Amino acid sequence: MKLFLCVLLFALSGAVSQAATLLGCGPAIFQPQVALLSSVRHRYERYLTAGCQLQSQTTDGLDRWFPALPHISINQILPSEVSRYPRAAEFQRSYINLPLRRFQRHLWSVSLLWQHHQWHTQLKHTSYSTALQQRLASGQAMRLQQQQLRLGTELQLAGSKPGLSVVGLYYIQAKQPLTVQPRTAAQTDILTPVLYDIIGLGAGSRQLLRGWQHNWQFYIGQGRLRDNGVDGLTSLGLDRTFSYLELQLYSGYRWRLANALYAFSGYQAQLNYYAFNQPAADHPYYIRNSHSISQQLIGRLEWRF
């Protein structure tokens, strides 16, 4: 393992002098919202975090392996009153994008994103929990969790020009509770733990500039739900495939404080949409189409080298 790390660092060492690299740390407020959960009062929580990020501007040049430093971002929750229920709140987020090979003006890389969060909420009305195998009354307090893993392989165009600059193929796996809704009020919602997998394509714009920068990312794919530990979906006979759309909009401003010292503040919004094939009208249950809107507010000091 140590030998591998030494070889990797040696391979990346030549990239430092070829591209502007920023290392920054600071606070951030994350507000992830969870889709597919219509039976609870609060589908989101706010988290105050501390985080650090290493990012390099993509440059063109000779073809080579490991042509740039990886993009690394880590955020961890801080104790605060930003969350509605601080004692129940948990949040961790890690991201790495590792450039593998440069082909003139194109950069091939692989990426990994992992995010976990927990929040406190209450049921809107009576629901049946497949995990607990019992009915839960309206107003029942609950602690819910969502975990997501995202893997990608990307091709990025060197430089900082606006417009389309990156395309990729992505795989997403998530674990969370889901609400299955009844057709009539005489029946109760079903709250069941699920896993889902999504395979999709993405495209976007990424810039690393001084002053204003506006980036965007768009994903489209197909997904499938699976039971997670208990029989919640299989016995209902529902179509568990869905179409998936995701749009990320990001705006920030970077200004110079000293020779190699910068300050940065930014805002990001993310829209997720899940569209299911609906069963026949006489089927007693269905999964409602759902969306979520998550937000981030970021501030940090950065050192350029």
What does the pLDDT look like over 10-58, one tens digit per residue?
A: 444 444 444 579 999 999 999 999 999 999 998 889 999 999 999 987 6
pLDDT tens profile 184-222: 888 899 999 999 999 999 999 988 878 898 999 999 999
pTM score of the predicted model:
0.88
Domain 24-304 has CATH 2.60.120: no
Please name every residue paired with 93 in a beta bridge, in sequence order, or none if there are none: 75, 115
* DSSP H or E segment with residue 284: none
Q: b/e map of 132-168 (b: 16 or more CB within 10 Å)?
A: eeeebeeeeebebebebebebebebbbebeeeebbeb
Measured at the alpha carbon of residue 119, what is the angle toward residues 144 and 141, in degrees to the nearest 5?
A: 65
pLDDT tens profile 225-261: 999 989 889 888 888 999 999 999 999 999 999 999 9
Tokens standing for 9?
Answer: 């660092």
